[in-house]
Structure formats: C-alpha cells, structure tokens
Structure 1
Amino acid sequence: MKKKLIYIVMSLTILTGCSKSTDVLLPYSETDNLISNENNIGTDEVSDFFASDLTIIPDELNHMEDSSITATSALIVNASDDVVLYANNVYERMYPASLTKLITALVVLKEANLKDTVTISYNASHITESGAKLCGFKEGDKINLEDLLNCLLVYSGNDAGAAIAEHIGGSLEGFAKKMNETAKSVGAVHSNFINPHGLHDDNHYTTAYDLYLIFNELLKYDKFVSIINQESYTATYKDAEGQAVTKEFATTNRYLKGTEKAPDGVTVVGGKTGTTSKAGNCLILYSKDSQNKSYISLILQADGGNSLFSQMTHLLDKIN
C-alpha cells in the first residue's frame, strides 16, 4: 500500500552546550521509527494506520486567516473526502480541559467491559477543585461502567472520570499510562495526559491535531457515536446501602440542547465540550451535511462560552 505523506510536529533538542527546543514539521515517513520505537509498535502497523482515513494537514494549510475565528486553535475537515476546510495552529501545544475525556473514552472502549460494576471510591467522590463539574456520586455507590461512560461524555462528570480511571488502571497514575499508550497508538504523539478528566495540570497537554486523531478513532465505535448524540442520560445505580438511585444528566452540547442552531443543511451528531481557566472554552464536533458526508470540527481556547459556539457555528458554515 502506498503510504500517504503526513506532517507531524516533532520537538527536537539540539545539544549545543545548552538545550534548545525547536518545533519542526517532518513528513510522517521520517518519523516511523520515532513513533514505533517509543511505543513498541511495529513500523508496518503504524504506517498502515497513517495510510488510512486521515486528513493531511501540511504546514501551508495550518495558518488560514478568518477574522471571525479568534480561538487559538481551530480546525474543520471533511472527513469523508479528506479535505481541510479551515486549519489554524493545529500543532500548537494546548490544554484540553474536558476534551481529555475523549482519550479516557477510547481506553474504555478498547480495553474494558461496559457491563462491569464500579464501586465509587473516596477519592472519586471527593474532588474538591473549584468549578469541577460533578455527577455527585458518593463513596460506596455501585454503578455500571457503561453508565459512567455516558455520564463522562454527556454531562462531563469529573467524578465519573476518576471512577473509570481507578477501575481500569488501578489508580489515576496507572490509567494515565494507558491513556498515553493509547494516544500514541493512534498517532497522537504530541500529547501528555496526567489525569482522566482534564482538570488543570501544567504537564497535561495535547494539540488540536492529536485530538482530531483521537476523535477520528472514536467515531469507529457505534457506542461512542450513540452516546454523544444524546440530549440527556438517565443513570440508575445503587448507593452504599443498596438503595436504588436515579439521576438525569443533561448534555453540555448547545446544539443538542437546542440553544445553538447549526447552519442550514448541517446536522450536529454530537461532540464534547471542555472548559478550564487555563484551557479556555473548547469544543469538538462530529457533523453531517445534506449528502451525509462527515465532518470533524474543533476549537481550542475560545474566550467564553458564547464566543465558542458562535465561532463553531461559523466553522460549520464553511460546509455549505
């Protein structure tokens, strides 16, 4: 199979008495060994991955101008035809906020049994960071992993993320290792994940292009697409005393809630939001046009929720 040419930002350290980090764009064919050696992935396996269903974004397409897009990073691609409609700063290192939960979901779908019962720990039920969105699970609650995955993606519950991580990885640190291994296995080599939810850590980062790669992989799972398409999710579980608890969790996606309207001819299937003070307002979407072609759009570090969705609507308008 002929290999596509794809460009990746690689940080190279030049040793000249002191260390200097320089970001350069290299063809994927020159980075096979860097990726496969770091992750014990065969070169042929990695090459096959990059040779299939990925939109190429060379540097000359990565600095498009649009005065209506003020976010630091933005991207929209026609994933059906591999066409870049808009791209700006897609290789810049960014904080992902709750878009982190995408790689958490990918680990779950790749490795875990959704029928597992998870017992909520003290740590998962005692996240104290100011502004952290919580489902309100209590220590000793018992809930299915599938319910937690829905709460993670629909409502963006950080306690759901912590519970998932402890169940699958044994600890947040153990799960973070799985997150990074999984990210690199799909080509997202410029990310470093410290936790499963995206609450701020200076060493927890990604790029718009890495998030595109992760999201593109997730769209292969029908379960993921069905989850992100929900306006709300109702979870039923048992508390520590064995009593049934039922809670409804609304989506954070304004397009699904009906408080933001997509352009005519565009249907937003679903996506994921994220917000922290350092990351700003972030959003990734999966959409379809009137010919049923697929689009992935992404905005990182918008200034406020209203600005985030207005900029995303402007990106979606490029579909028509």
Structure 2
Amino acid sequence: MMEKIKKKESKFFVLLIIAIIVFIYIFNFTSNGKFMFIKTKVNKAGETSLLTTVPDPSLSVLSKNLNSPNAILIQLDNLTVLMEKNSSQRIYPASLTKIMTAIVAIENLQDLQENIKLSNATFHELYKEDASIAGFKPDENVRAIDLLYGVILPSGAECSIGLADHIAGSEKKFVEIMNQKAMALGMRDTHFTNSTGLQDSNHYTTVRDLSILLSYALKNNTFRDIFTSSRYSTTPTNKHPEGITFHSTMFKNMENPVIDGGRILGGKTGYTDRAGLCLASLAEKGGREYILVTAGAKGNHKSEQYNIDDAYAVYNKLGKYKKS
C-alpha cells in the first residue's frame, strides 16, 4: 500500500516539474519583475513562431532583386511578415548586435543619469580590432544615457563595453544576459559572444530573429528615442568639457529620410567584411509603422550604401500592389 502511495507521489512531482517548466517557457519575467506574455503562433510546418506571414504582392519580385541576400519586412503593430528573403538563414549581425546591447543595458540600469567610468582596459582590445569608437577616452566619466546614445548612433564599441562592465562586472557575464534575453524573446537561432558585433564564428543570428528583437526593443520609450534620433550631444565630461555630438550612421548616409507616403524614422547600421552591409530600420507609411532588417549586402563604409538603397526600394514599393 505504501509503495503505491509513493509511486503516485513520484508521478505527481514529475508532472508538477513539467508544469513548472512549461509555465516558465510561456511566461517570462522582464527585468522589473513583471510578467511578459510571449504570444506564439504555429506555422504550416507545425513550428511555433512569433510572426504571421502575409506577403505583400507588390514586394514579391522586388525581394529577389535586393542587394541584400537576407531581408525581412514586418508590420509592427501586428508582427505580420510582408516580405522575406532567406530570413531564417544564419548571418553575422555585425553592429546590429548593439540593438540587444542597448535594450539589455536599459532594462538593467537603475539610473540612466549615473556616471560610468571607462577604464583603460575597455579600449585596449578595441584599438587592436579597429572597432568603431564613439569618441570617448580612457578614464572618462560618462553618463549612462550618453553611453546608450553612443552605442546606437555612432556605433561606439567602447560604449558597449563600458555599459557591459558596469552592469555585469564583465563583458562575458553581460553576454550571458544577452543570450538569456534572446531565448526569452523566442530568438531561436541566435547566439552572442560579445556586446559589440566584432566578428566571431559563434556570434550569429538571423534577420527574422533581429526583427523580433527590434519589435520588442521599440516598445521601450528610451530605446525608441535613441533609435529614432539623427544626432545627439552629450553632457560635458572630464575629458570632453564641451561634450561630444553624435550623428546616426544611417541618417548621415541618407540624402532624405522621406519615402513615398511616409518617412524612415530611425535605424542602426552594421558592417564587417564577413557580415557585409546590414541595416535594421523603422519607417512610418500610411499611418502604420514597419520594420525592415537586411544583411549581407556587398560594399563597405566607403562604397555606395547598398543596405540603405534596399531600404528606400522596399519602403517606396510597399503597398503599391493593385488588383487588376
């Protein structure tokens, strides 16, 4: 009799553990301790997805002719995929990584006005790697909010490392938080090894995963303000008594952010030799907002910006389909 009771108790505890795991998978804590419900949908292959695909016929031909071999366009309000091209293929994200760096930092900083000291060690490896720098110097005391603008607008690697060290004690530990966040958001084919996007064979994602990340990050008002800024001036510091003025790496390469029936509101560029020219952007057209993520376009910082060319082409063509 006692053995039967023990067996029943054992089965009960197994079922309880399974239920807890399922609960944790569906409900994810945000950094402020509140529950975030992650909606999942099931595609034709039976796989769960955060996105619904409803192709825009006006973009079907255009997608094949883009400079970027990987692309995805999403209507932001309902996460509907309107166009995709090799969207689930692994890519190197380059500085699009910093979208995750910024949102994780924002969610883990207690005070955006606090001063953070950039150590000499922060710069040593970055100089060797010829990483993009916002313009801060070793031993500079910088407000957290200024570092966040430095992460996104000029793509400053020293800003990413400075925030990572301050928040987690080291970049390695900060990257663990980044990967945990990716899992919580349903970015199923993403793995980060650094906070800057420097080339690493184990540092990868997909444009689909990046669109999920950006759609999430844009819900945060601080992130949205930064992402949609074309320029920003920091407060004075011990090394820059007049502050530094940043310019968005996307907007400075655009003649005009206006598109047919709307406007490109913000964006983040990325580039390495292996990643090619990348861009994650936000646009408004016809009263709705859209996210476009592209990666892998040929070229470099000195060439024509084919990633931006693709953004103009997609946003201008969006919604142009007319039934005969």
What TM-score does the superposition give when structure 2 sets the normalisation length? Answer: 0.78
Deviates more, 1:121-130 or 1:210-219: 121-130
After TM superposition, the structure 1 = structure 2 runs for residues 118-137 of structure 1, keeping only pairs within 5 Å, are 118-126=116-124, 127-137=126-136
**How far did residue 181 of structure 1 move?**
0.7
Given that 2:135 and 2:244 are in contact with CA atoms closer than 8 Å, whether structure 1 keeps it comes out as no
Query: Contact 2:53/2:82 (CA < 8 Å) preserved in 1?
Result: no
How much does 1:117 deviate?
1.4
**Residues 58 and 173 of structure 1: CA distance in aligned 2, closer, same or farther (over 3 Å):** farther
1:303 match = 298
Find the partner of 1:111 among 105, 108, 113: 108
Query: 1:123 aligns to what SS in structure 2?
Result: helix
Given the superposition, is the C-alpha separation of residues 82 and 198 from structure 1 closer, same or farther in structure 2, using an over 3 Å criterion?
closer
Provide, for residues 140-166 of structure 1, a one-character-per-residue CA deviation record: whole Å limited to 9, x for no partner: 111111110011111111111111111
Does the 8 Å contact 1:134/1:158 carry over to 2?
yes
Contact 2:54 2:81 survives alignment (8 Å): no
CA distance in 1, matches of 2:86, 2:291: 16
Contact 1:75 1:299 in 2 (8 A): yes
Structure 1 residue runs without a partner (length 5+)? 1-32
Max radius of gyration: which structure? 2
Pair 265,131 (structure 1): closer, same or farther in 2 beyond 3 Å = farther
Matches of 2:212 and 2:23, distance apart in 1: 17
Q: How far apart, CA to CA, are the structure 1 residues paired with 2:200 and 2:104?
A: 20
2:74/2:83 contact within 8 Å kept: yes
Aligned match for 1:44, one of 20, 26, 29: 26
> How has the CA–CA distance of structure 1 residues 70 and 253 changed in structure 2, closer, same or farther, with 3 Å as cutoff?
closer
Equivalent in the alignment of 2:276: 280
Q: 1:58 to 1:206 in 2, by over 3 A?
A: farther
Aligned positions, number = 279
- Tell me the SS of whatever aligns to 2:138: coil
Structure 2 equivalent of residue 139 of structure 1? 138
Aligned partner letter, 2:121: N
1:232 CA displacement:
1.0
Q: Give the residue type in structure 2 aligned to 1:281.
A: L
Closer, same or farther: CA 261–143 of 1 in aligned 2, 3 Å: closer
1:317 and 1:79 mapped to 2: Cα distance?
17
Q: Compute the displacement of 1:81 (Å).
A: 4.4
Deviates more, 1:153-162 or 1:120-129: 120-129
Contact 1:269 1:286 in 2 (8 A): yes
- Distance (whole Å) between structure 2 residues aligned to residue 96 and residue 231 of structure 1: 22
Q: CA deviation at 1:185?
A: 1.0
Q: Larger % of helix: which? A: 2
Q: Say whether the 8 Å CA contact 1:125–1:159 is kept in structure 2.
A: yes
The 10-residue stretch of structure 1 (210-219 or 301-310) with the greater mean CA deviation from structure 2: 301-310
- Map of 2:158 onto structure 1: 159
1:268 is matched with which residue? 264
Q: Secondary structure at the match of 1:80?
A: coil
Q: SS of the counterpart of 1:282?
A: strand
Which of 84, 89, 94 aligns to 1:87? It is: 84
Q: Considering only aligned residues, what root-mean-square deviation do their CA atoms show, in Å?
A: 2.9
The amino acid of 1:42's aligned partner reads I
Taking a change above 3 Å as real, the CA distance of residues 85 and 262 of structure 1, as seen in their structure-2 partners, is: farther
Residues 246, 190 of structure 1: alpha-carbon distance in 2 compared, 3 angstrom cutoff: same
Residue matched to 2:8: none
TM normalised by structure 1 equals 0.79
Mapped partners of 1:286, 1:190: distance in 2: 22
Tell me the CA shift for residue 192 of structure 1. Answer: 0.8
* Alignment-mate amino acid for residue 261 of structure 2: G
Distance 2:236 2:97 in 1: 25
Contact 1:239–1:245 (8 Å) recurs in 2: no
Helix, strand or coil at the partner of 1:284: strand
- Map 1:64-103; keep pairs closer than 5 Å: 66-103=63-100
Percent of paired sites with the same residue: 27
The AA in structure 2 aligned to 1:236 is T
Does 1:181 find its partner at 2:163? no
Contact 1:135 1:160 in 2 (8 A): yes
CA 1:309/1:260 → structure 2, altered by over 3 Å: closer, same or farther? farther
CA contact (8 A) 1:275 1:282 kept: yes
Is the 8 Å Cα contact of residues 72 and 89 (structure 1) preserved in structure 2? Answer: yes
State whether structure 2 residue 235 is matched by structure 1 residue 236.
Answer: yes
- Rounded Cα–Cα distance in structure 1 between residues aligned with 2:78 and 2:108: 30
Opposite residue 103 of structure 2, the aligned amino acid is L
For 2:266 and 2:71, the matched residues in 1 are separated by 17
For residues 248-305 of structure 1, give each alpha carbon's deviation from its aligned partner in whole angstroms, at most 9, with x where no partner exists: 1111113x66424442112111111101111000001111113x21101110111125
Distance 1:133 1:211 in 2: 21
SS in 2 for 1:236: coil
2:197 alignment partner AA:
G
